[in-house]
Structure 1
């Protein structure tokens, strides 16, 4: 893909994006992991410095819109422990299997998330990664390997993983102990060769990223995209419970976030714009369900809210030809056989890899063709 510049304007907590409704800040959450106190702090900051309607992203991050005082918001994010590196804050893009170590999977990738995040921050070269470059750690269940991350691993056993580039198995096999050094080395090579490319798939020859890494298996395998978030009552292997909550259109109101934080349990923001409340006893889980469902969170895996999504649309985006969230909400009342993503313009922000993408024209919607 030809570009006229090698940097990108991907927002962060310090580098905000000026949208139609004001400044937009994005808080990176490696692996989507956030604790109750941090979510409560973000809810307060959103109410004080921006819109209380926080947005969950397809990379498991949180956005705050209409920010009136970006430096004050950044200070609040840092005070919550969510801004550990000013130089690397936009490149800490790590998605991981949300239920890893708790339910299913070949192994637990949570330690790899923490180690990879630390390694990224400790490598000055990686501060030059584009803000759109993404790492993925799939625990073997295949939920995030289909997201097309720039570089990632897919556990084949608890001790070995397949190395993926642009969501494709390279044929390189990596011991679990070498995952972090391998991923950071591939990312550093991308920095050296990328030119004006922002993503690995944009390189003319992505094999250059594998220099010195021998192939020991057949390359080319891919994983189908997962569309459905983990929703409902999920039994953990330790006898406790995780609660998966879909968030309609990915808009998490600060009030609902405060109720989630009040459960006082670890939380995971998933790449499907949902939340998992982890490690709760059954009685706590039962009480939490009764409190959280009235806040608009969805615990029913058959809910029509899981079959629609949307970009920001009007009035938040000046490129949009319609209030696509309103139209998507109306569409949720008329379930279809496929997932529908409503967008306000041809850029189709946040479009999932499968399903129907409907583009606003100012006079209705038309399907976007690949």
Structure 2
């Protein structure tokens, strides 16, 4: 993993569509265009399009960034970029909602939350997410969010801790919105202090779960696997970004500068490994390149 630029967002040029990328001014990288796919969920079309944008209008790379975001750096024509962005995953919104990348249910709830909080002032500048029950997203230090418990219930996350009240999935999003609106200040510290007695900090103490890297079949149906890949420093050359788009499978961007290729037949997955591994995609959880900056 590598350090990521932290720069204040600048307003997109006038006339930018709803959900247009955030445009940031960085002293090192120049103009950055940041795309925030909900729960990191992207399609093949998203990757083909962002690869072309990287090649034509930026420095030729796609970057995996903080918060399961995608970035283009060194953008030299903002208006042209905004005019060309059309893939739904790249226009999803500007407020990230993280989700456990191996949990379809968590990603679905994250989409429901994102649809509400995009226009909710109380959600501005907060770290939101949905944990599928693994503890992976809870460890990300959420300001607000939810942890799923089984198929039909969940608990809210407030200030990085689990709330003791249990909600049905149908009640969850309204309960989260109410919690956001009732918070006196929009910070994890205040959320923690307002209800410490109602929070459960012991539920997921301990080590962070392992990164989802390699052959991932524990949660898939027989004969189908997910493939988890890391990228050294989170950098994907445009031609390789286009290549993974041509795989025509759903791809999740993880909060840890990685990708998960979903729902691949086992035989096809072997081919994908042979094609992508020589191109810098890391499928070995023990590779030192996953952790070096």
Q: TM-score range by the shorter chain?
A: 0.7 to 0.9
Aligned CA distance change for structure 1 residues 221 and 259 (closer, same or farther; 3 Å) = same
Higher CA-based Rg:
1
Mapping for residues 49-60 of structure 1, pairs under 5 Å: 49-60=57-68
1:309-362 deviations in Å (ceiling 9; x for gaps): xxxxxxxxxxxxxxxxxxx3xxxxxxxxxxxxxxxxxxxxxxxxxxxxxxxxxx
Match of 1:80 among 87, 98, 102: 87
Question: 2:171 maps to what in 1?
Answer: 178
Question: 1:351 maps to what in 2?
Answer: none
Q: Deviation of residue 222 (structure 1)?
A: 5.6
Aligned CA distance change for structure 1 residues 218 and 185 (closer, same or farther; 3 Å) = closer
User: Can you give the 5+ residue segments of structure 1 that lack an aligned partner in the other structure?
Assistant: 1-7, 102-107, 309-327, 329-370
Is residue 14–residue 71 contact of structure 1 (8 Å, CA) maintained in 2? Answer: no
Structure 1 residue ranges, 4+ long, deviating more than 6 angstroms after superposition: none
Is residue 95–residue 135 contact of structure 1 (8 Å, CA) maintained in 2? Answer: yes
Distance 1:248 1:114 in 2: 29
More strand by share: 2
1:278-325 deviations in Å (ceiling 9; x for gaps): 0111121111111111110101111011222xxxxxxxxxxxxxxxxx
2:219 counterpart of 1:219: no
2:286 counterpart of 1:302: yes
3-state SS of paired residue (2:135)? coil
Question: 1:90 maps to what in 2?
Answer: 94
Aligned-residue Cα RMSD (Å) equals: 2.5
Question: 1:344 maps to what in 2?
Answer: none
Match of 2:145 among 128, 143, 152: 152
Question: 1:272 maps to what in 2?
Answer: 256
Distance 2:220 2:258 in 1: 21
Distance 1:227 1:73 in 2: 37
Is residue 244–residue 275 contact of structure 1 (8 Å, CA) maintained in 2? Answer: yes
User: Can you give the 5+ residue segments of structure 2 that lack an aligned partner in the other structure?
Assistant: 1-6, 13-19
1:93-125 deviations in Å (ceiling 9; x for gaps): 111110114xxxxxx22321222222224xx4x
Aligned CA distance change for structure 1 residues 36 and 127 (closer, same or farther; 3 Å) = farther
Aligned length, in residue pairs = 275
Aligned CA distance change for structure 1 residues 238 and 56 (closer, same or farther; 3 Å) = same
Is residue 167–residue 222 contact of structure 1 (8 Å, CA) maintained in 2? Answer: no
Distance 2:74 2:271 in 1: 34
